[in-house]
């Protein structure tokens, strides 16, 4: 079996984790949910649920060296082989991929706009965005197809030659761009305001909806609950402290979310824009600000959208890998055939997502208060990912004997660390996640 190098594993996993979730979704969720209160719940969820379940996925993947369905089957006691169906969580990856690539397509369009010229007034910026999403079906389909084709190309090359290589190139570039953006922001007056917005909480803004969104966001940002970490851990280097890898990836990802928030809100506050702009924050407010900054704005816009695209592509390619790995190992598909299958389904679903935003077809694709896009995002982030997390906690905490779990960690989780983690995955994480979800109903 070809294994990741250590750097390759860390970069590929960080590449999967760091993405539009952290850079696009996190800032707008913070803005919509009242700033620091959301950030604090997110931090708690990230450490308590995120990091501990990240380690679970690694242990599973490393122990079994198989896809998620086979993992849950092989490790189950004889009378509980039905647990393999938990492996169907790989389907969430397909669903997330379907809308994720649509957003990536938008980013390509905005990258293009950053070169040819962006709207200069608020009204224009809103119109450009509105008309693009609800009217420009042709453009959107073009960019969407381009992104899907790019992902298909990388995935066809496999984990080592495709995914690892892509990340080895794009991730360092992303770090450099982000470091530059951060330095630029720190030098602005509005940085302090942005900092306060993220770190001084107003707890009256908290409610169960916010808590569930923060938990969902922690899962989404760490790529948990789909089997991505599990599948990548199949090819973990045999030696090395993998718990440390988990911490490195989590910390890197966390820093990215915060830096993205700080940078975005520095621009937002510096130019008197509204922080609660929702998904349009990055597509309306920021382009408008950049457009009014002259040449430096154009350069920053270009770098910002390129960074988002790099971060997004390295995440997108990870989402289908768990499903592909099931198709290859369980149904004996060749990699090409597995890819073709998952990419084709995702492409078609993606078209439905794209049409659900348009004026002409949106009406047919809106159910209750959300369109198809909204539903896919909501059902995966707020239900499927957290539930998969609970499933894995119960599996590792109660179905597997403690000695077995301890042995699986090969001494990388010892003493108080093991005890704390074990207690968290048995009680704190599942109870916390479930009660947050129940409080929504
Ligand atoms: N973590 C990525 C982001 O923040 C998205 C992502 C990639 C993902 N793979 C995933 C989310 C698997 C959930 C599950 O953008």
Please state the rounded mean pLDDT for residues 302-326.
92
> What does the pLDDT read at residue 157?
86
Q: How far is CA 141 from the centre of its chain?
A: 23
For residue 277, CA distances in Å to 230, 273, 281 come to 35, 9, 5
Q: How far is CA 372 from the centre of its chain?
A: 19
Q: How far is CA 83 from the centre of its chain?
A: 26
User: What is the tens place of the pLDDT at every residue in 213-256?
Assistant: 888 889 899 999 999 999 999 988 777 788 899 999 999 999 98
Which of 14-23, 107-116, 276-285 comes out lowest in average pLDDT? 276-285
DSSP notation for 14-69: HHHHSSHIIIIIHHHHHHHTTTHHHHHHHHHHIIIIIIHHHHHHHHHHHHH-S-HH
| Ligand 1 proximity of 316 Cβ (cutoff 6 Å) | no
Mutate to test the pocket of ligand 1, among 13, 20, 21 (most ligand atoms within 8 A of CB): 21
> What does the pLDDT read at residue 117?
87
| Ligand 1 proximity of 315 Cβ (cutoff 6 Å) | yes
Question: Under DSSP, is residue 237 helix (H, G, I), strand (E, B) or coil?
Answer: coil
Question: Residue 132 pLDDT more than 70?
Answer: yes
| Ligand 1 proximity of 249 Cβ (cutoff 6 Å) | no
| Region 6-438: CATH code | 1.10.4160.10
Mutate to test the pocket of ligand 1, among 26, 174, 220 (most ligand atoms within 8 A of CB): 220
Contact 48, 424 (CB under 8 A): yes
Contact 53, 218 (CB under 8 A): no
Structure confidence at residue 140 as a pLDDT band (50, 70, 90): very high
Beta bridge partners of 85: none
Please state the rounded mean pLDDT for residues 96-123.
93
| Ligand 1 proximity of 16 Cβ (cutoff 6 Å) | yes
| Ligand 1 proximity of 250 Cβ (cutoff 6 Å) | no
Report the predicted TM-score, pTM, of the whole model to 2 decimal places: 0.92
| Ligand 1 proximity of 314 Cβ (cutoff 6 Å) | no
Backbone dihedral angles phi then psi of residue 367, each to the nearest 5 degrees: -125, 130
CA dihedral 91→95→101→102, nearest 10 degrees, is 170
Structure tokens at 326: 């099931």
Q: Which residue has the higher pLDDT, 101 or 364?
A: 101
User: For residue 327, what are the contacts with CB-CB under 8 A and spacing of at least 6?
Assistant: 333, 337, 338, 341, 342
> What does the pLDDT read at residue 159?
74
130 CA distance to ligand 1 middle (Å): 26
Please state the rounded mean pLDDT for residues 291-300.
87
User: For residue 136, what are the contacts with CB-CB under 8 A and spacing of at least 6?
Assistant: none
| Ligand 1 proximity of 90 Cβ (cutoff 6 Å) | no
Closest ligand 1 atom number to CA of residue 311: 15
Structure tokens at 20: 């539009």
* Residue position matching structure tokens 């005890």: 419
Distance CA 262, CA 396 (A): 37
Contact 4, 235 (CB under 8 A): yes
Distance CA 249, CA 58 (A): 12
| Ligand 1 proximity of 221 Cβ (cutoff 6 Å) | yes
Pick the closest to residue 52 from 170, 191, 229 (CA basis): 229
Structure tokens at 381: 């982030």
Question: Residue 272 pLDDT more than 90?
Answer: no
Q: Please report, rounded to a whole number, the percentage of residues in the chain having pLDDT higher than 70.
A: 100
418 CA distance to ligand 1 middle (Å): 27
DSSP notation for 330-341: HS---HHHHHHH
Question: Residue 431 pLDDT more than 80?
Answer: yes
Please state the rounded mean pLDDT for residues 254-281.
86
**Host H or E run for residue 269:** helix 242-270
User: What is the tens place of the pLDDT at every residue in 16-30?
Assistant: 999 999 888 898 888
Q: Up-side HSE of residue 231: CA atoms within 13 Å toward CB? A: 32
User: For residue 269, what are the contacts with CB-CB under 8 A and spacing of at least 6?
Assistant: 190, 193, 194, 197, 275
Structure tokens at 292: 């009014």
Q: Please report, rounded to a whole number, the percentage of residues in the chain having pLDDT higher than 90.
A: 57
Structure confidence at residue 100 as a pLDDT band (50, 70, 90): very high
Question: Residue 86 pLDDT more than 90?
Answer: yes
> What does the pLDDT read at residue 1?
60
Domain boundaries, the chain: 6-438
| Ligand 1 proximity of 20 Cβ (cutoff 6 Å) | yes
Closest ligand 1 atom number to CA of residue 253: 4
User: What is the tens place of the pLDDT at every residue in 352-376?
Assistant: 999 999 988 877 888 888 889 999 9
User: What is the tens place of the pLDDT at every residue in 156-215?
Assistant: 887 778 888 888 888 888 889 889 889 989 999 999 999 998 988 878 878 888 888 888
Distance CA 272, CA 44 (A): 30
Question: Residue 343 pLDDT more than 80?
Answer: yes
| Ligand 1 proximity of 381 Cβ (cutoff 6 Å) | no
Question: Residue 395 pLDDT more than 70?
Answer: yes
| Ligand 1 proximity of 99 Cβ (cutoff 6 Å) | no
193 CA distance to ligand 1 middle (Å): 29
| Ligand 1 proximity of 104 Cβ (cutoff 6 Å) | no
- Residue minimizing CA distance to atom 6 of ligand 1: 223
Question: Residue 387 pLDDT more than 80?
Answer: yes
> What does the pLDDT read at residue 280?
79
| Ligand 1 proximity of 13 Cβ (cutoff 6 Å) | no
Beta bridge partners of 367: 370
């Amino acid at each position: 079996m070809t294994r990741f190098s250590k750097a390759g594993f860390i970069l590929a996993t960080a590449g999967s984790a760091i993405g539009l979730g952290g850079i696009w979704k996190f800032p707008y969720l913070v803005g919509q949910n009242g700033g620091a209160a959301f950030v604090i719940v997110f931090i708690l969820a990230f450490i308590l649920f995120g990091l501990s379940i990240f380690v679970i996925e690694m242990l599973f993947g490393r122990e079994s060296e198989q896809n998620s369905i086979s993992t849950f089957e092989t490790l189950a006691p004889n009378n509980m082989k039905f647990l393999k169906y938990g492996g169907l969580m790989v389907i969430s990856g397909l669903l997330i991929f379907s809308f994720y690539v649509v957003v990536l397509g938008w980013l390509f369009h905005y990258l293009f706009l950053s070169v040819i010229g962006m709207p200069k007034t608020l009204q224009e910026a809103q119109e450009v965005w509105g008309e693009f999403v609800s009217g420009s079906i042709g453009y959107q389909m073009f960019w969407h197809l381009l992104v899907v084709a790019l992902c298909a190309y990388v995935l066809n090359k496999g984990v080592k030659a495709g995914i690892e290589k892509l990340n080895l190139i794009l991730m360092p570039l992303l770090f450099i761009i982000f470091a530059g953006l951060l330095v630029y922001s720190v030098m602005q007056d509005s940085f302090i305001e942005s900092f306060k917005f993220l770190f001084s909480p107003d707890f009256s803004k908290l409610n169960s909806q916010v808590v569930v969104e923060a938990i969902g966001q922690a899962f989404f940002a760490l790529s948990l609950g789909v089997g991505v970490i599990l599948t990548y851990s199949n090819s973990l280097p045999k030696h090395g402290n993998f718990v440390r890898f988990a911490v490195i990836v989590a910390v890197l990802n966390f820093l990215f979310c915060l830096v993205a928030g700080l940078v975005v809100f520095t621009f937002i506050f510096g130019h008197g824009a509204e922080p609660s702009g929702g998904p349009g924050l990055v597509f309306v407010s920021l382009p408008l600000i950049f457009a009014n900054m002259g040449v430096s704005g154009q350069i920053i816009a270009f770098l910002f959208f390129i960074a988002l695209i790099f971060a997004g592509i390295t995440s997108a390619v990870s989402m289908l890998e768990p499903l592909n790995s099931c198709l290859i190992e369980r149904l004996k598909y060749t990699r090409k055939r597995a890819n073709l299958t998952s990419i084709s389904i995702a492409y078609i679903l993606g078209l439905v997502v794209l049409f659900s935003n348009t004026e002409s077809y949106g009406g047919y694709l809106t159910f209750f208060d959300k369109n198809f896009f909204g539903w896919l995002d909501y059902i995966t982030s707020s239900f499927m990912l957290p539930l998969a997390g609970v499933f894995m906690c119960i599996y590792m905490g109660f179905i597997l004997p403690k000695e077995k779990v301890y042995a699986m960690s090969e001494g990388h989780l010892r003493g108080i660390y093991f005890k704390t983690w074990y207690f968290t995955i048995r009680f704190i994480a599942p109870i916390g996640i479930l009660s947050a979800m129940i409080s929504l109903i």
